[in-house]
Structure 1
Amino acid sequence: MSAIEKRLAELGFELPEVAAPVAAYVPAVRDGDHVHTSGQLPMVAGKLPLTGKVGAEVSAEQAGELARTCALNALAAIKSVIGDLDRVTRVVKVVGFVASDPSFTAQPGVVNGASHLLGDVFGDAGVHARSAVGVAVLPLDAPVEVEITVAVRD
Structure 2
Amino acid sequence: MADVYARLEELGLRIPPVVPPVAAYVPAVQTGNHVYVSGQLPLVDGKLPATGLVGADVTPEQAKDLARQAAINVLAAVESLVGLDRVVKIVKIVGFVASAPGFTGQPGVVNGASELFGEVFGEAGKHARSAVGVSALPLDTPVEIEAIVEIA
Instruction: Give the TM-score range, shorter chain.
Output: over 0.9
1:57 and 2:68 matched: no
Runs of 4+ with deviation above 4 angstroms: none
What is the Cα deviation at residue 133 of structure 1? 0.1
1:70 aligns to what SS in structure 2?
helix
Q: CA deviation at 1:8?
A: 1.7
Q: Partners of 1:13 and 1:53 in 2: how far apart?
A: 27
**What TM-score, normalized to structure 1?**
0.96
2:112 corresponding residue in structure 1: 113
Aligned-partner Cα distance in 2 for 1:69–1:3? 21
Q: Distance in 2 between matches of 1:6 and 1:53?
A: 36
Give, as a single letter, the amino acid of the residue that structure 2 aligns with 1:146. I
Instruction: Write the distance in 2 (CA, Å) between the matches of 1:22 and 1:5.
Output: 28
Give the equivalent residue in structure 2 for 1:103.
102
User: Does residue 148 of the first structure (1) align with residue 147 of the second (2)?
Assistant: yes
Distance in 2 between residues matched to 1:65 and 1:13, nearest whole Å: 14
Residue by residue over 1:2-36, the C-alpha shift from the partner in whole angstroms, topping out at 9 and shown as x without a partner, is 92122122112110110011000000000100000
Which residue is equivalent to 2:10?
A: 10
Partner of 1:138: 137
SS of residue matched to 1:13: coil
C-alpha separation between the residues in 1 aligned to 2:49 and 2:58?
A: 11
Q: Deviations over 1:64-119 (max 9, x none)?
A: 0000000100011011110x211100000000000000111000000000000001
Question: d(CA) in 1 for partners of 2:99 and 2:80?
Answer: 31
What residue in structure 1 maps to residue 69 of structure 2? 69
Where 1:38 maps in the other structure, the secondary structure is strand
Query: What RMSD, in angstroms, separates the aligned Cα atoms of the two structures?
Result: 1.0
Gaps in structure 2 of 5+ consecutive residues: none
